[in-house]
Chain A
Amino acid sequence: MRSQLSIKRIQNACAHAFLILVGLFFLLPFIWMVSTSLKPDNELFLWPPKWIPGLLVWSNYPDSVNYVPFFNYLRNTLTISGLATLGVLFACPLVAYGIARIPWKGSKPLFALTLIVMMLPYQVTMIPIFILFKNFGWVGTSIPLWLPAFFGAPFYIFLLRQFFMGLPKELEDAARIDGASELRIYWGIMLPLCKPALLTIALFQFMGSWTDYQGPLIYLSDESKYTIMLGLQAFKTQHGAEWQMLMAASVLVTLPIIILYFIVQRSFIQGITFSGIK
């Protein structure tokens, strides 16, 4: 018993050492970003770069927030990201369940189509989609940026389909015998079991909308409706950029996602327990 315990301890120590070492490597870009955001002009382009600025210029942060209507952009981005996340959370599990767990003829062709629409690079579909949305009268509004989410997004449908396929078949068989309706099986049994997956797609969609650049660029024309990613472009000048302010703003923009990520990963506590099913 004791030796088992110490083996465990050694294992844990190894895991910690490994994670810190490799993790630091993954943390580098962020550290660099923070460091640049605090640099004075003359230390920006030192070679080799300096990790810790000689003089910490905290004023880069308030400067960057005042440089563009930061909080207005923040609000716009929050609205779009929130709506889009709501959209995929509504539509994607529903559709994925219909494809993965309901035995009907349409499920396979529909799944194939779901994959097919991901296979064309967006660079060629961008213009036709724009023309389409223009005909809907949505250009200049944020509708194209969130409404389609309510009709499902192929990436998440596929992801959730994999999760639904991975759940034991006994689950719905037992429930169907009990006379539960499909919707009840879906809502009451299947969905709760997929909570980590649902949180994952919520995280991805929120992050995707949050950092989306091409979409807002093309569809928004009124600066009062701009998102944060468009705002960041304003730090780029004709032949360069306001690097420190750009990085300061980037740090601020990244924080909400980090917080969201933290919440999501907390739901990852290993193992689900099926009640009554072996």
Chain B
Amino acid sequence: MKRNTGPKAWRSRKGISIILGFTLVLTLVLAGCSSKNAVSESGTDDETDPAKPSSAEKVTIDFWFPWGGDYQKDFKKYVVDEFEKKHPNIKVKMTFVESSGQTQSSDKLLTAIAGGNPPDVALFDRFLIGSWASKGSLTDLTEFVERDGISPDDYYKSVWAESVYEDKVYALPWGTDNRAMYYNKTLMKKAGLDPNTPPKTMAELDKMAEATFVKGKNGKYDEIGFIPWMNQGFLYTQGWNWGGEWEKDGELTPNHPQIVKALDWMAGYAKKYNIENLTSFSTAIGQTGMNPFWTGKVAFVFDGNWVLNDLNKYKPEFEWGVAPMPAAEGYPNVTWAGGWSYVVPKGAKHSEEAWEFLKFVAHKEGTLLWNKRPTAGNDISVMPSVNEELKLSENPNLKIFLDMMPTAFTRPVTPVGSFLWNETMRVQDLAINGKGEAQQLLDEVKKNVDAELAKLKK
């Protein structure tokens, strides 16, 4: 074989050196970037300078929020701008960080904390406070709260309880929601029911539901009376409606006798009305942001106060009303509240300034500014005094929800909150699909959550 000395060989060497050179440059870029990082990691961004937090210097706090839509624009205009006016040394950088899936937590927030560069403030699902606080990922705000005289009485009782884990405050609550029953007056009339007396007890609901189910050809339903698990009708909701308790003396009690009854009752619907036909109506459409109630083919549904906004926006072609959810015989009508809060993640660079921000937005001043914005719609704030000042109870539909707030339940604050939630969803699904008895399923849930807790406490 002859030696490669011709122009071809030269070209190939040139090619190879291009490849080698390219790889070399890339490697250098890598090295360069990582050495640059060594500097920035010690905490000196040009804008935010935590090294010298002297009062005169301007501090920028990072604030992450999970909602798109008009929230960013409105919140900046009505609340953040006011805050910055009052605190000229603090600048707020708002970043939209979408929350993912049914966990409501954000993969991005998780990775950021894991990577050691969380934001200073995050708008956070209150439901997750228990599990995140137990992992030491949220800053303990108790000292700040005591120092600045924030009183638990400023907020609805249960809402405040959700911000506290093992006697320490980890968040300031902000924004809440709860559940009631929506009913389709047009369908009630059609079934010969009085559209102005919605059911108050479970027995009445069962009867009216039966009257409003309409079978079409092929044995399928043209109109649905009621499906216990549609929309907000989770086992959690129904358990409380039946007078069950999810937590007693610091212990989780998912197999409380009344919760067992609730699950039994849900499974009864599945059996009586044929689960496959019902499921298609409930879960499927719900996933897509559509609400089966809007189709005008559902007589009763349990849903949240936010649906009032949608009903105003999409203007369905039937008459509807709202009433508290029916309760089991001998039990009061109840509801449960969820909602949001502001937290300071562990490792935040400016916790003092972050607290200033929390104290403004999630206490009287900011809450009022936010809730009196023109687009507030049917929002409920977590502070009774604010709701009163805004005369929210003058809106008859919203009043139904508002009146339930002082006695509303919230889900137990526990490190295994998400697990318990999913377990209830799992057995609910099994029960309505005829895979097991309510008692045995819920005993299993009890056993599982206790085992998870034991593992964490170990």
Interface residues of A (CB under 8 A from B): 41-42, 44-47, 90, 94, 126-127, 130-131, 134-139, 143, 147, 150-151, 179-184, 187, 214, 217-218, 221-223, 230, 233-243
Contacts and interface: CB of A to CB of B under 8 A. Distances in A.
B149 interface: no
Closest 6 CB pairs of A and B: A137-B37, A237-B69, A181-B12, A234-B68, A47-B295, A183-B12
B313 A126 contact: no
A187 B275 CA distance: 63
Contacts of A179: 1-2, 4, 6, 8
Contact of A221 (B22, B95, B310): B95
B116 interface: yes
B177 to A, nearest CB: 8
Interface string B72-104: 100000000000000000000001111000000
A273 B26 CA distance: 38
Contacts, number: 124
Given A45-B291, A45-B294, A137 B36 contact: yes
A44 B96 CA distance: 26
B15 interface: yes
Residue among B9, B37, B69, B70 with the most chain A CB within 10 A?
Answer: B69
B110 to A, nearest CB: 8
Q: Classify the interface of chain A: helix, strand, loop or mixed.
A: helix
B144 interface: no
19 contacts: A131-B114, A137-B33, A139-B115, A143-B33, A179-B8, A180-B8, A181-B12, A183-B11, A214-B107, A221-B95, A223-B95, A230-B98, A234-B68, A235-B69, A236-B98, A237-B69, A237-B70, A239-B304, A239-B307
Residue among B6, B115, B306 with the most chain A CB within 10 A?
Answer: B115
Nearest to B119: A221
Interface of B: 1-2, 4, 6, 8-9, 11-12, 15-16, 19, 22, 26, 29-30, 33-34, 36-38, 40-41, 62, 67-72, 95-98, 107-108, 110-111, 114-117, 285, 289-291, 294-295, 297, 304, 306-307, 309-310, 313-315
B69 A242 contact: yes
A137 B8 contact: no
Contacts of A181: 4, 8-9, 11-12
B338 to A, nearest CB: 11
B68 A44 contact: no
A233 B9 contact: no
B8 A218 contact: no
A54 to B, nearest CB: 13
B33 A41 contact: no
A218 B71 contact: no
B120 to A, nearest CB: 12
A45 B95 contact: no
A239 B12 contact: no
A133 B248 CA distance: 46
A222 B47 CA distance: 13
B107 A218 contact: yes
A126 B9 contact: no
Given A131-B114, A131-B115, A181-B9, A223 B96 contact: yes
B11 A184 contact: yes
B34 A182 contact: no
B139 to A, nearest CB: 20
A33 B72 CA distance: 26
Given A223-B96, A233-B96, A94 B19 contact: yes
A254 B238 CA distance: 43
B1 A241 contact: no
Nearest to B38: A137
A147 B26 contact: yes
